[in-house]
Structure 1
């Protein structure tokens, strides 16, 4: 069972309320996603810490129903 982009976005925004999230389907199968996440809460954090914050926001589905998520994280300009 695939996870819809809108559900991934919702989970990220719940965990990072100020985030801007852009989703892209990498394979056209609703199963391999790329997310660009921009959040002020990333400021001063390493890239690894930023990604961990996104994974924590997604929670249990990460590594289960959602197994393919490429991430790009940034702070706002």
Structure 2
């Protein structure tokens, strides 16, 4: 089952309360999204660690072929 943009945003927002989150459905199919996440919580983290933190916030929704979310193009940065 496809995942809705608001569900992705909610999971990220729960993990990063300071975050500004923008979700874009890239293919219009509910399976391919882009996310821009800007959060104070990313301070001191490498880009890889920031991305790992966001994927962890998705609570397994992207895991393997059984995940609800097929693809997520991720951009992160520290909120100033």
After TM superposition, the score normalised by the length of structure 1 is: 0.93
Count of residues in correspondence between the two structures: 77
Distance 2:29 2:16 in 1: 26
**Residue in 1 aligned with 2:34?**
34
Q: 1:34: Cα distance to partner?
A: 0.2
Query: Which residue pairs with 1:9 in the alignment?
Result: 9
CA offsets per residue over residues 7-40 of structure 1, 9 Å max, x none? 0000001111111100011111111000000001
Runs of 4+ in 1 over 4 A off after TM superposition: none
SS of equivalent residue, structure 2 residue 41: helix
Aligned mates of 2:7, 2:48 — CA distance in 1: 23
- Alignment of 1:69 onto 2:75: no
TM-score (ref. length: structure 2): 0.90
**CA–CA separation in structure 2 for the residues paired with 1:27 and 1:73:** 21
Cα distance, 1:67 vs. partner?
A: 2.0
Higher strand proportion (structure 1 or 2): 2
